[in-house]
Structure 1
Amino acid sequence: MPKDTGIGASTKRREDVRFLTGRGVYTDDLSLFGQAHAVMVRSTVAHGRIVSIDTSAVESMPGVLAVFTGEDFKDVGGNPAGWLINSRDGTPMREPKRPVLAHGKVRHVGDAYAAVIAESYAQAKDAAQVLSDATEIEELPAIVDMKAAAADASNRVHDEIPDNICFDWGWIEDNRAAVDAAMKAAPHVVTLELTNNRLVPNAMEPRASIGEYFPGTGDYKLTTTSQNPHLTRLLICAFVMGIPENKLQVVAPDVGGGFGSKIYHYGEEALVLAAAKRLGRPVRWTAERTESFLSDAHGRDHVTKIELGCTKEGDILAIRTETYANVGAYLSNFSTATPTFLHGTLMAGPYKVPHVYVNVKTVFTNTAPVDAYRGAGRPEATYSIERVVDKMCRELGLDPFEVRRRNLLTPDQFPYTTPVGLVYDTGNYQATLDKAVDLADVAGFEARRAESAKRGKLRGMGLSTWIEACGIAPSHLVGVLGARVGLYDAATVRVNATGTISVMTGAHSHGQGHETVFPQIVAEKLGIPASSVEIVHGDTAKIPFGMGSYGSRSLAVAGSAMDRAIDKIIAKGKKIAAHMLEAAEGDITFADGKFSVAGTDKAKTFGEIAFSAYVPHNYPLETLEPGLEETAFYDPANFTYPAGAYICEVEVDEGTGKVDVVAFTCADDFGNVMNPMIVEGQVHGGVGQGIGQAVLESTSYDENGQLLTGSYMDYAMPRADDVPFYTVDHSCSTPCTHNPLGVKGCGEAGAIGSPPAVVNAVIDALQRGGHSHVTHIDMPVSPNRVWQAMNA
């Protein structure tokens, strides 16, 4: 019988009550007394020198209160990258300043170089257009193509960087000679050049920020659409504006999706704070959808050459990659970590590969900054590996299922140290593969293919076996590798006098269901109703500290901090109970919401103990402080490693090249599952985004750096009829061995495992349909690309 409460129960999301009835409170919903409106003035050219900005006409326009340009911020700091990467020769990366507003040069279409503050949005919008017309920008040649950018020293995104290269990174450099030797000796070498297409995140809620300044105390308040309010505060205070950290409160209320694009600090957040101080009134800014396309951090955008050395039987001997990774015009906060330590360290996949070497060259171009997007480096690694493994199987005439079984790590090999420096603690990759094969009815595929053929369709099946690293940690290790922040998290559990509980967590919920799942954990551990637990998040004034939500870290890191804080609550509760029950502390047990004396019927409920802590009439005051509130910080000992096997079936229309994804099966290992329904929803969403990347989505710039896909008229998002009903399973999960909850993370899995499964299925359909010359098609596998490949 299914569990209906606590850990493992498919409890409905309590936050959906307000979301589905229109009672959520988002940043743009807030209307503050005396608020003014900001509109950013953005570059219409991809690369240019700012010759002059004439603000005189704008300053006298109706309602205009202030005009800001890059000159106003030239003496403040820049928004830094969060990870310092060294090149192969040991030299540190080139890190140009990323200003609040562009100063001297604009470097991509949408680069904000000025802002107008007015009484109303319409007045600010009109004035911004006038200011744009009054600005002279000398257009320079745009740098769009990564390889061309690296080869042309005469044309520079940043004048001080002659080759447009941020860094040339090798991992692990000591592996290089051994990989070269293994490739040379390999009986067969497979080579594949592929593109991991650039994506626009497209959260439902555009970015928005409201700045406030309180002159009586010198305090600031920023309300913003952030996945990571504490990091935003840290960056603004320590690097950008120099505000004392205790003088800035950052609040992220309800946030309508992020997918990575709202982890980072953006210049508009600093702008509204500076404007609020100058004007002495709140200043708000909300992006229009086109602004989001132009200025939000994009995702992916890798060009990779991957080589795989193997035996004729399909044993993988070595993998070698060379990747060009686009970072756009500026370094966003995690842009340097994504193509390196979140990508290169996963290049062994779930396989027992003896030798791996990864080279990544990151390149500045006159395009929007590129940063972490759902999966962040792990989808790029998985796509390269799973495509080249599939190509190997076709070249050698081997079964792709059996080749993967042959190369997958086995349970007796854990813990397993990969050649790229990770230690996988646990897993059962054969079990997830077998489960996927069973659920997808692989044995019945030929019958389905024959039925599709009767309707004039080519049917194909694609497989992807994948692994990812989540809950990036520990802090001392990532510090050695270049991280500029710690990657721990914190939680405070406050038991109120009446027994209800408030949990202040450093994680931020923007669709993950924290307000449902976290109470399930508290309820399970304390034996109380989940309805008695309130989750508080997204406010730096209420939370001890936190590193936000991204990289599937919420449960593994923030949830573990909460678990430890609850343990402290129970430990203190035992001391109180021992005093009240006149027993030794060692004789007190806690279960099902009761503190009991072992071997007796003497007991106190959790509520009685909580009340006693706040009304300490019968309380060990000589040894224990009143109150029942505990804080814990948790820094993981290792990453967590979700893994799985995905099987996709597609139909291809031979006449048009149109691809329909007709079936999709996911068998995942997420460790212990807290709420199966929410896990299933996370997988559904991730697979939907992965199918979108594989079949529909692509961000395109022309040779002048103009964004050709700047709206939903040009950028294809997956709709309900573009995805099938999914089959999702997590019954083969193995618990994580190093966090107290045994969880691994589930939020990114669908977006990691699905793109190669889709593309493998398309190639399979074409090969089975007589188009044996088609060995690869870059994403998205649009009708035009598929038709051209078939008819090449």
Structure 2
Amino acid sequence: MNDIIKGGIGDSVRRTEDHRFLSGHGHYTDDMNRPGQAHAYFKRSDVAHGVIRSIDTSAAASMPGVVAIFTGEDFARDNIGGVPCGWQIHSKDGSPMIEPPHPVLAQGKVRYVGDAIAMVIAETRQQAKDAAEALVIDIDSLPAVADLRAAAAPDAPLVHDDAKGNVCFDWHIGDKDAVDAAFAQAHKVATIDLVNNRLIPNPMEPRAAIGEYDLSSGEYTLYTTSQNPHVIRLLMGAFVLHIPEHKLRVVAPDVGGGFGSKIFHYIEEAAVTWAAAQVHCPVKWTCERGEAFITDAHGRDHVTHAELALAEDGKFLALRVRTMANMGAYLSTFAPSVPTYLHATLLAGVYTTPAIYAEVKAMFTNTVPVDAYRGAGRPEATFLLERIVDVAAKELGMDRIAIRRRNFIPADAYPYQTPVALQYDSGNHEATLAKAMDHAGWAGFEQRRAEAKSRGKLRGIGVSTYLEACGIAPSAVAGALGARAGLYEVANVRVHPTGSVTVFTGTHSHGQGHETTFAQLVADQLGVPFEAVEVVHGDTAKIPFGMGTYGSRSLAVGGSAMVKAMDKIIAKGKKIAAHLMEASTDDIEFKEGKFTVAGTDKSKAFAEIALTAYVPHNYPIEEIEPGLDETAFYDPKNFTFPGGCHIAEVEIDPETGVVSLLNFTAVDDIGRVINPMIVHGQVHGGVAQGIGQALLEHAIYDETGQLLSGSLMDYTMPRADDLPNIRVGTESTMCTHNPLGAKGVGEVGAIGSPPAVINAVVDALRDYDVTHIDMPATAQKIWSIIQGAGPRMAAE
């Protein structure tokens, strides 16, 4: 890669924000210390389910440095609301989902290990922690349920009394009659049962929050590690603390990773904000790593049965899916949307399956709430689909590539209406497959397999051809599907008198490189130097109301809002230029930072027009307002649909079961590429997380609801030596309905990679008659399979 080349669209510009991040000059919430602040520590339940009989605070309250101790009763007395859910789902019968209240601090019962019971505020963090340990809490333990299947059992303990059978909702989508008819005519049926393992996000920066209250103005400020500060202000202000929006400021400074886990409104944010007004000083809380394991929203956790009806020639006739999805003990902000509209609507994938029917039953359990984690529903759909396609190929005796090609949506079939609501606008799946196979050396694999066998190793190759939905939209459609907020984005583009530009965006960066990518976008469209562009985000006092960053929406939605705002800037600039050059506005052209009278050599530089806008001595003020500052909102017409092909090659040591991932190829269709270097980095990161899910990561609870994988000693995240060289390529078709043609890249790596890895593992174990292995494919699991098949293999 080159260093800064030019700074426009398509250039591999080094991230400008990296200097402060890598030199220790980042400004994170935990770096902040407000004058006179106190520190909060939360006492959390160490049982998964129980009735709170009493909380004795007397000994703790008398300890050194203790300022105050609050419990759920204090919040109830002040009429503090529960943490709201931002998406509503209706069951098959039309009834709304069960939506139990989620108090800021537990009231009456605790429902998972980690449920906050009390908040201790002291002069130092250690004093608060010591006092919390001195609290005497009497809890009568109740039977708990942590496993999805156990939660569905007739005699299972109820997490919430009003959620009969622990069911939150029982939802469906698709045409059941058409699917049943297709299955009745099927030549073969491929069947699979699988688990999509529960994951714990573990971003580099743990969550933190500082609440502040100004007695003189009645204004509150929350500093927090959030992906969407305006959404936090809306949810916390309107539904929890009942603070008018003009009296509540939410600031999300630098954020060290989120992967979805920092989208949601958490109880700690509301608690410290409320407490600041009670104790008359700022209140700071920083999460410990172990605390994060039992408080940050978890991801995935599906149990699925799927069936694919097949014609004799390998064409897919219908897909039938039945999924149970874990919600945890409470409904997190966007949890109900993940296994429904972000999952089941993607079950067509890249294929022309004519009929699909999916049922999703969401269950409460005594576990940490589950919500969106990188990919959010699309990895679950892709894993299901790409695994059952491999099973179908084996069922029919077909080549894995041939069966995919036979069922691909042709490039000339777009726009393509799927049987599960979505209409895809563009794609070329044959192109991404062919390029990935070439990069991965697919044609020479059997030679590599034979060479590995000569060394006593098992070699396998796996493919995943996937499609996902990004840039959640449009607001009207999303609202009809249950979203309780708009899903547009906003940008304010402020051109200064000297021609430099500040962009205020409603999206938020937590590692994606927005300060670089958005500056490139502005530099390209306005023709200003890359270095002359400033990008501002993360402060509700500075930016218009925006929806933040998740679902790979920042460029496709936020960038499109910037384009619309810059279109307004250029349109006004043309009027000013026309006046200065005594020409008609219709004759003014704008290109590469210059306003030119068409067909002449008369021109004005962008900076000249900017100065004129602010120094309007020669300016028809009655016709054109001074200044060059425009705002635009963009509400997308449709989702965007990135896709691609991922290929993994593995080698297994049959003596130990250890999987070595030798090569990984990712060719993704993400629409227009603004910065190839950042694209490569995003894909690398996503693939690493997908490999972690496929081979290593698994959040495990015991039958009492205790998290057994509650630290980095027990929860195995991928390290550098677990990852291969990752070859990244793009084969782009443009999005047809946003001005950039962008589709999104932030989640493709985590979506396409898990099935590619598991398909490779299954391929390596083909001589052991393995048709499926659930994630994570650990060495112990694989060794057990090999040992169990040993005598039969020896006999053969």
Alignment of 1:124-273 (within 5 A): 124-131=128-135, 134-152=136-154, 155-172=157-174, 175-273=175-273
After superposition, the C-alpha distances for 1:107-137 in whole angstroms (9 at most, x for unaligned) are: 0001101110000011001001111xx0000
Q: Match for 2:764: what amino acid?
A: A
State the distance in 1 between where 2:688 and 2:610 align: 46
Is residue 2:596 matched to residue 1:593? Answer: no
Is residue 2:44 matched to residue 1:42? Answer: yes
Question: TM-score normalized by structure 1?
Answer: 0.98
Kept in 2, the 8 Å contact 1:154–1:162? The answer is no
- State the partner residue of 1:299: 299
- State the partner residue of 1:733: 732
After superposition, the C-alpha distances for 1:639-660 in whole angstroms (9 at most, x for unaligned) are: 0000101111000111111111
Structure 1 residue 183 displacement after superposition: 1.2
Structure 1 residue 450 displacement after superposition: 1.9
Structure 1 residue 398 displacement after superposition: 0.8
Alignment of 1:437-586 (within 5 A): 437-586=437-586
Kept in 2, the 8 Å contact 1:471–1:557? The answer is yes
Structure 1 residue 154 displacement after superposition: 6.1
After superposition, the C-alpha distances for 1:19-61 in whole angstroms (9 at most, x for unaligned) are: 0101001000011110100000000000000000011111111
State the distance in 1 between where 2:466 and 2:30 align: 39
State the distance in 2 between where 1:15 and 1:456 align: 48
State which of 115, 127, 137 in structure 1 corresponds to 2:119.
115
- State the partner residue of 2:90: 86
SS at match of 2:294: helix
Structure 1: state its 5+ residue gaps.
Answer: none
State the distance in 2 between where 1:314 and 1:689 align: 33
State the distance in 1 between where 2:600 and 2:378 align: 54
Q: Match for 1:682: what amino acid?
A: Q
Kept in 2, the 8 Å contact 1:153–1:162? The answer is no
After superposition, the C-alpha distances for 1:461-512 in whole angstroms (9 at most, x for unaligned) are: 0010000000010000111111100100000000111111100000100010
Structure 1 residue 153 displacement after superposition: 5.5
State the distance in 1 between where 2:777 and 2:618 align: 71
SS at match of 1:151: coil
Is residue 2:773 matched to residue 1:777? Answer: yes
SS at match of 2:462: strand
Using the TM superposition, name which of 774-783 and 450-459 deviates more: 450-459
Question: TM-score normalized by structure 2?
Answer: 0.98
RMSD (Å) for aligned C-alpha atoms: 1.0
SS at match of 1:570: helix
Using the TM superposition, name which of 651-660 and 292-301 deviates more: 651-660
State the distance in 2 between where 1:724 and 1:454 align: 22
- State the partner residue of 1:756: 755
- State the partner residue of 2:58: 56
State the distance in 1 between where 2:163 and 2:318 align: 34
Q: Match for 1:736: what amino acid?
A: C
State the distance in 2 between where 1:532 and 1:400 align: 51
- State the partner residue of 2:681: 681
Q: Match for 1:479: what amino acid?
A: G
Structure 1 residue 148 displacement after superposition: 2.3
Kept in 1, the 8 Å contact 2:98–2:162? The answer is no
SS at match of 2:590: strand
SS at match of 1:421: coil
State the distance in 2 between where 1:147 and 1:657 align: 28
Is residue 2:136 matched to residue 1:99? Answer: no
After superposition, the C-alpha distances for 1:126-161 in whole angstroms (9 at most, x for unaligned) are: 001111xx0000000111122221233562111222
Structure 1 residue 544 displacement after superposition: 0.6
After superposition, the C-alpha distances for 1:543-586 in whole angstroms (9 at most, x for unaligned) are: 11111111000000011001100000000001111111111111
SS at match of 1:786: helix
Using the TM superposition, name which of 446-455 and 200-209 deviates more: 446-455
State the distance in 2 between where 1:371 and 1:5 align: 37
Q: Match for 2:617: what amino acid?
A: H
Q: Would you identify which runs of 4 or more consecutive aligned residues in structure 1 move more than 3 Å?
A: 1-4
- State the partner residue of 1:655: 655
After superposition, the C-alpha distances for 1:658-713 in whole angstroms (9 at most, x for unaligned) are: 11111001111011100001001000000000000000000000011000011000
Q: Match for 2:56: what amino acid?
A: D
After superposition, the C-alpha distances for 1:306-348 in whole angstroms (9 at most, x for unaligned) are: 1000013211110000000000000000100000000000001
Is residue 2:308 matched to residue 1:311? Answer: no
State the distance in 1 between where 2:53 and 2:64 align: 26
- State the partner residue of 1:787: 783
Structure 1 residue 5 displacement after superposition: 2.3
- State the partner residue of 1:743: 742
Structure 1 residue 756 displacement after superposition: 0.4
Is residue 2:630 matched to residue 1:630? Answer: yes
Alignment of 1:687-706 (within 5 A): 687-706=687-706
Structure 1 residue 449 displacement after superposition: 1.2
- CA spacing shift, 1:51–1:393, aligned 2, 3 Å: same
SS at match of 2:596: strand
SS at match of 1:163: helix
State the distance in 2 between where 1:76 and 1:271 align: 10
State the distance in 2 between where 1:752 and 1:466 align: 8
State the distance in 2 between where 1:584 and 1:542 align: 37
SS at match of 1:321: strand
State the distance in 1 between where 2:7 and 2:659 align: 42
State the distance in 2 between where 1:396 and 1:402 align: 11
SS at match of 1:295: coil
- State the partner residue of 2:320: 320
State the distance in 1 between where 2:456 and 2:156 align: 53
Kept in 1, the 8 Å contact 2:150–2:156? The answer is no
After superposition, the C-alpha distances for 1:270-300 in whole angstroms (9 at most, x for unaligned) are: 1101111011111000000011000100000
Kept in 1, the 8 Å contact 2:188–2:395? The answer is no
State the distance in 1 between where 2:395 and 2:351 align: 19
Kept in 1, the 8 Å contact 2:251–2:540? The answer is yes
Q: Match for 2:82: what amino acid?
A: G
- State the partner residue of 2:402: 402
The number of aligned residues is: 784
Q: Match for 1:122: what amino acid?
A: Q
State the distance in 1 between where 2:520 and 2:719 align: 32
Kept in 1, the 8 Å contact 2:146–2:701? The answer is yes
SS at match of 2:738: coil
SS at match of 2:768: coil
Structure 1 residue 182 displacement after superposition: 0.9
State the distance in 2 between where 1:52 and 1:33 align: 35
- CA spacing shift, 1:153–1:489, aligned 2, 3 Å: farther
Kept in 1, the 8 Å contact 2:145–2:156? The answer is no
SS at match of 2:337: coil
Structure 1 residue 526 displacement after superposition: 0.8
State the distance in 2 between where 1:9 and 1:114 align: 52
Q: Match for 1:97: what amino acid?
A: P
Structure 1 residue 383 displacement after superposition: 0.2
Alignment of 1:67-86 (within 5 A): 67-74=69-76, 75-86=79-90
Structure 1 residue 249 displacement after superposition: 0.4
Kept in 2, the 8 Å contact 1:462–1:649? The answer is yes
Structure 2: state its 5+ residue gaps.
Answer: 789-796
